[in-house]
Structure 1
Amino acid sequence: MLENIDFTLVNWSRGQFALTAMFHWIFVPLTLGLSYIMAYMETMYVKTGDPEWKRITKFWMKLFGINFAIGVATGIILEFEFGTNWSNYSWFVGDIFGAPLAIEGIMAFFLESTFIAVMFFGWDKVSKKFHLTATWLTAVGASLSAIWILVANAWMQNPVGTIFNPETARNEMINFWDVFLSETAVNKFVHTTTSGFVLASIFVIGVSSWFLIKKRELLLAKRSIVIASVFGLISSIVLIGTGDSSAKEIVKSQPMKLAAMEALYEGQTNAPLVAFGILSGKENHKNVDADSQADFLFKIEIPSMLSWLAYGDADNFVAGIKDLIMGNEEQGILSYEEKINRGYEAQQALLALKEVQKTNPESPEAEELKAKFRDPDFIENNVKYFGYGNFYDPDPEVLKKNAFRMVPPISMTFYAFHIMVILGVLFLLLFAVFLYLVMKDQLHNKKWLLWAGVWTIPLAYIASQAGWIVAEVGRQPWVIQDLMPTMKAVTQIDVGSVMTTFILFSVTFVGLFIAEVRIMIKQIKVGPQKKEEPKNV
């Protein structure tokens, strides 16, 4: 029953986790991308012996170090919150979610932290090749750290390779490789890491553009722009490709998210893609009796493109918000009310088993109930919708309203998705133009373009955050798709404690962010170390 849920606690817990995650993601993408850019620059130094490459590498390494240190601090807090604020979630799926986090700590974090010391302090203390190896392993370690976190998140979006154990009332992993190599996990890892590569490339181009504007460190700036433009261009192409793959996967596992991304209320064949649009702000799905489609003040559509992107066939039907809520028998889509009833039946079977186990755990009735949860038909038709049962209400009218409440915020998801896509295309063009002009040695004369490069840095962060808004806000009300709603995942603690820590974290994170920006700007203004004077023989 929803009336038994303390939504104030739920909302403050969600706000605290979102705050921590969004601040953490300010630092992570730059770490992911800049590590590989540095590694390539150092490779050029080892290959050519040109000391200028060493200066360039050390400069970007200094900025990497500032960012890395603060990113680690916010990441540790984020993982602790699973225990402090989301203990019900951790208990329900800890056997699955804990494995990737443990591997991340043992394998990736220790690899990264071990070689990062050599990378920063090993110059002239170890051989060039050993130092280069340490730099590359630091980059690989950052990616390994990301992969396990993203595998865990992908499982929350699409829970595969697991089974529900009615005796413990927990989900348990039955196939690690199904979890690790699921289509969702692969797409999420490649898409997310390449978004970090794009952001880092823009950061390098922006800082280098500032040097060109100030007519300082011209060789450093031009070399850095060449590398960042090539790296960013390749990453952007991969990013677009994995974005397309992700959309096709979302159609299968999270169709409501896709409908929210496009504000598609009425499903249709030859569904158009909204290239750009402005919503009126009226979210009609909140009204049970609404029959109108999404109310756009203005929109530009590409005919049939959404059907083609989703299925590779323009004639395919794309489900809208109403099809998913109310069902569409012709398309084989179950209504939310039907899913709620099926999930409720699974929950009632579990409660019945628990009651029998209290008095006679070995009785035929107990064995019959256990067998029910091993029945493939019951798993497919009921256990699959276990989380929907939390929205059940015996009153048909309340049940109907609850079904309509199970829709993510449309406006936020729609705008975040389109901001991400529009900026992604802009970045691709930016890399191509910068690469062309710097190779023609004409970039330093285009002051307006250089300033555009500088001011694209915050746009890269906006696009990066928008991507996570689509991923996380777009799947609400689920913390685990179809299995556990967010409202059931929270720790039952005092709301005041969550509010207090939210305020403390806000102050701390804002302070850290301001400190990092100031330190970064100061180090950029200082620039790289002075050129080494040739030693007298």
Structure 2
Amino acid sequence: MISDYLQTVDWSRAQFAMTAIYHWLFVPLTLGLGVICALMETKYYLSGDPFWKRTAKFWMRLFGINFAIGVATGLILEFEFGTNWSNYSHFVGDIFGAPLAIEGILAFFLEATFVAVMFFGWDRVSRGFHLSATWLTAIGANLSALWILVANAWMQYPVGCTFNIDTVRNEMTSFWDVLLSPVAINKFTHTVTSSFVLGALFVCAVCAWYLLRKREQKMARASLRIASVFGLVFALITAFTGDRSGVIVAQKQPMKFAALEALYDGKEGADLTVIGVLRPEAERGNGEDPFSASIRIPKMLSVLGYHTPDAFVAGINDLLNGNQHYGIMSTVEKIARGKVAIAELERFKEAKEAGDQETLEEIRAKFDPNTPQGAEFLKEYFAYLGYGYLESPAQAVPNVPMLFYSFRVMVGAGFLFILVLALTWWYNRRDKLENKRWFLWVLLLCLPVAYLASQAGWIVAEVGRQPWAIQDLLPVNVAASRIASSSVATTFFIFLVLFAALLVAEISILCKQIKIGPEKE
């Protein structure tokens, strides 16, 4: 039943979103804290001071708790591609599977090999070898992130592939185009550097707790010296990569860019809305101001998107209805062209069943990028294949309020963290931090804000791409497996209970270990 399938799509989306959000609670801390642990052990290796060994072992203990649960949730995510998104896996498995396979074979095993030495090799291997194992564990974790983010970036901007009509699959033609696409490079740097900031804020929050309790003050101040500088440097880099993300999204995903700003009618010299209150959906997109209240910076959106103050920024209505002056095709036209591509695929299937070789060769020529006819058809029609599955142009618009507010949480938190980390370094350097209890509470409160900002960033990336599983090529309602909605709903609630229990367990164990503190000298 079609109605049952639509429910399956909704349940599959909900389950994947829940698993991804839960998994992303652990990944950023693993990436950031792993590097901080390596930096602290480097201090021990260079100085030979047992204090740094004790300090490094304490943070490694917290890293290990987070690492273990993060691995388990990541495995569930990868299996969901095959169980809940089998049409997606068939359509692009040749491309999407390559970086995931490299992640599993190279990066994951690099982590698995050296993490044991990192935790259990302190008195069994030389100091140099143990330090190398710690750094390789941190590098392995970030390599895992690289390959997963490359795969995700390809979903946002599919390159380096061609369509094989005989197998009805996209097949990789250039691994390097997939790996080095501008979206992949920026997504990796932005995600990893923001994760480093979260790791630094985690260390700062734990140290703030110790200083409030007047415990482990030497260890807390020493850890803060490293974490505040580390976090501040990467918070600034995150801001730079965020600026680059704006340019890339404006060029490659204009609908996402317009939705982020709730920009319905495009204009030259578009204003940036710093903060605003959106009107109800029925009152937006009709030529009126979509905000009931807002604070704006003139022309700043054009600067962010195109680095020039007078650049035209397309709005949601421009992308839906088209704008001939700026060469923007309407969504209705894209849907019509997508239906032409779908019709050719159906005609190929029928000809194959009938053994009509003449028709098969005719259609194959249309999908051959090496012929003038094929190059034109692929560019003018197949490029909009996914639109052919949409029932109305409105489906091409993502959730505007969710994107608008999530984006401002992410960006606002980023600027807050730059200020807080700079002040942490300054107060700690002048030995005034332990006397500023109000600021220690600020550091504690920044930790949940960091997690909120991290999740908001993931929402911006993934919800902003909707309705696409693969940008312009495959909508989510086609990508999902055709299985009973009750099956997906059942596993959804099983995972929900399991994840909630694991989260409570991890927080409990982490808090217990923080209360215990470092090993006694």
TM-score by length of 1: 0.95
3-state secondary structure, aligned to 2:247: helix
Distance 1:230 1:320, change over 3 A: same
Match of residue 361, structure 2, among 356, 367, 386: 367
Q: CA deviation at 1:391?
A: 1.8
Partner of 1:295: 290
Identity value in percent: 56
- Are the equivalent residues in 2 in contact too, given 1:280–1:295 (CA < 8 A)? yes
3-state secondary structure, aligned to 1:276: strand
Partner of 1:328: 323
Task: Describe the superposition over 1:189-224 as per-residue Cα deviations: whole angstroms up to 9, x where unpaired.
Answer: 001111110100000000001111111111110111
Equivalence map 1:449-464=2 (5 Å):
449-464=439-454
Equivalence map 1:59-70=2 (5 Å):
59-70=58-69
Residue 301 (structure 2) pairs with residue 306 (structure 1) = yes
Q: Structure 1 CA distance, aligned partners of 2:63 and 2:139?
A: 15
Q: Structure 1 CA distance, aligned partners of 2:386 and 2:167?
A: 16
Partner of 1:398: none
Task: Describe the superposition over 1:268-327 as per-residue Cα deviations: whole angstroms up to 9, x where unpaired.
Answer: 011011111121232556xxxx52345212211111000011111111100000000010
Q: CA deviation at 1:4?
A: 6.9
Residue 442 of structure 2 aligns with an amino acid whose one-letter code is A
Distance 1:59 1:293, change over 3 A: farther
Residue 492 (structure 2) pairs with residue 483 (structure 1) = no
Q: CA deviation at 1:168?
A: 1.1
- Are the equivalent residues in 2 in contact too, given 1:413–1:469 (CA < 8 A)? yes
Partner of 2:237: 238
Task: Describe the superposition over 1:132-162 as per-residue Cα deviations: whole angstroms up to 9, x where unpaired.
Answer: 0000000000001110000000000000111
Q: Structure 1 CA distance, aligned partners of 2:222 and 2:143?
A: 28
Q: Structure 2 CA distance, aligned partners of 1:147 and 1:529?
A: 34
Partner of 2:165: 166
Residue 130 (structure 2) pairs with residue 115 (structure 1) = no
Q: Structure 1 CA distance, aligned partners of 2:166 and 2:125?
A: 56
Task: Describe the superposition over 1:348-395 as per-residue Cα deviations: whole angstroms up to 9, x where unpaired.
Answer: 11111111122225x222111110112111111101101111125xxx
- Are the equivalent residues in 1 in contact too, given 2:4–2:484 (CA < 8 A)? no
Residue 281 of structure 2 aligns with an amino acid whose one-letter code is K
Task: Describe the superposition over 1:247-274 as per-residue Cα deviations: whole angstroms up to 9, x where unpaired.
Answer: 1111121100011110001100110111
Q: CA deviation at 1:45?
A: 0.3
Distance 1:339 1:86, change over 3 A: same
- Are the equivalent residues in 2 in contact too, given 1:260–1:413 (CA < 8 A)? yes
Q: Structure 2 CA distance, aligned partners of 1:294 and 1:162?
A: 42
- Are the equivalent residues in 1 in contact too, given 2:65–2:510 (CA < 8 A)? yes
Residue 351 of structure 2 aligns with an amino acid whose one-letter code is V
Equivalence map 1:230-309=2 (5 Å):
230-282=229-281, 291-293=286-288, 295-309=290-304
Q: Structure 2 CA distance, aligned partners of 1:520 and 1:464?
A: 20
Partner of 2:371: none
3-state secondary structure, aligned to 1:171: strand
How many pairs align?
Answer: 516
Q: CA deviation at 1:5?
A: 7.7
Residue 356 of structure 1 aligns with an amino acid whose one-letter code is A
- Are the equivalent residues in 2 in contact too, given 1:281–1:411 (CA < 8 A)? no
Q: Tell me which stretches of 4 or more aligned residues in structure 1 moved more than 6 Å.
A: 2-5
TM-score by length of 2: 0.97
3-state secondary structure, aligned to 2:125: coil
Match of residue 337, structure 1, among 324, 329, 332: 332
Residue 238 of structure 2 aligns with an amino acid whose one-letter code is L
Q: Structure 1 CA distance, aligned partners of 2:113 and 2:2?
A: 51
Q: Structure 1 CA distance, aligned partners of 2:71 and 2:282?
A: 39
3-state secondary structure, aligned to 2:162: strand
3-state secondary structure, aligned to 1:185: helix
Residue 107 of structure 2 aligns with an amino acid whose one-letter code is A
Distance 1:42 1:416, change over 3 A: same
3-state secondary structure, aligned to 1:492: coil
3-state secondary structure, aligned to 2:67: helix
Equivalence map 1:371-382=2 (5 Å):
371-374=365-368, 375-382=374-381
- Are the equivalent residues in 2 in contact too, given 1:63–1:520 (CA < 8 A)? yes
3-state secondary structure, aligned to 2:519: coil
Distance 1:3 1:318, change over 3 A: farther
Partner of 1:355: 350
3-state secondary structure, aligned to 1:528: coil
Residue 320 of structure 1 aligns with an amino acid whose one-letter code is G
Residue 176 of structure 1 aligns with an amino acid whose one-letter code is F
- Are the equivalent residues in 2 in contact too, given 1:266–1:293 (CA < 8 A)? no
Q: CA deviation at 1:405?
A: 2.4
Q: Structure 2 CA distance, aligned partners of 1:431 and 1:298?
A: 31
Residue 238 of structure 1 aligns with an amino acid whose one-letter code is I
Q: Structure 1 CA distance, aligned partners of 2:5 and 2:502?
A: 32
Partner of 1:530: 520
Residue 112 (structure 2) pairs with residue 102 (structure 1) = no
Q: CA deviation at 1:449?
A: 0.2
Distance 1:422 1:522, change over 3 A: same
Q: CA deviation at 1:483?
A: 0.3
Q: Structure 1 CA distance, aligned partners of 2:95 and 2:289?
A: 38
Task: Describe the superposition over 1:55-104 as per-residue Cα deviations: whole angstroms up to 9, x where unpaired.
Answer: 11000000000000100110111111111111111011000010011000
3-state secondary structure, aligned to 1:455: helix
Q: Structure 1 CA distance, aligned partners of 2:330 and 2:420?
A: 45
Match of residue 315, structure 1, among 307, 310, 326: 310
Match of residue 403, structure 1, among 393, 396, 412: 393
- Are the equivalent residues in 2 in contact too, given 1:272–1:307 (CA < 8 A)? yes
Partner of 1:206: 205
Residue 54 (structure 2) pairs with residue 55 (structure 1) = yes
Residue 119 of structure 2 aligns with an amino acid whose one-letter code is F
Q: Structure 2 CA distance, aligned partners of 1:283 and 1:154?
A: 33
Equivalence map 1:21-32=2 (5 Å):
21-32=20-31
Residue 458 of structure 2 aligns with an amino acid whose one-letter code is W
Q: CA deviation at 1:167?
A: 1.2
Deviation larger for 345-354 or 444-453: 345-354
Q: Structure 2 CA distance, aligned partners of 1:111 and 1:141?
A: 5
- Are the equivalent residues in 2 in contact too, given 1:66–1:516 (CA < 8 A)? yes
Return 5+ residue gaps in structure 1 as ranges: 393-401, 532-537
- Are the equivalent residues in 1 in contact too, given 2:278–2:291 (CA < 8 A)? yes
Residue 502 (structure 2) pairs with residue 512 (structure 1) = yes
- Are the equivalent residues in 2 in contact too, given 1:201–1:229 (CA < 8 A)? yes
Residue 327 of structure 1 aligns with an amino acid whose one-letter code is G
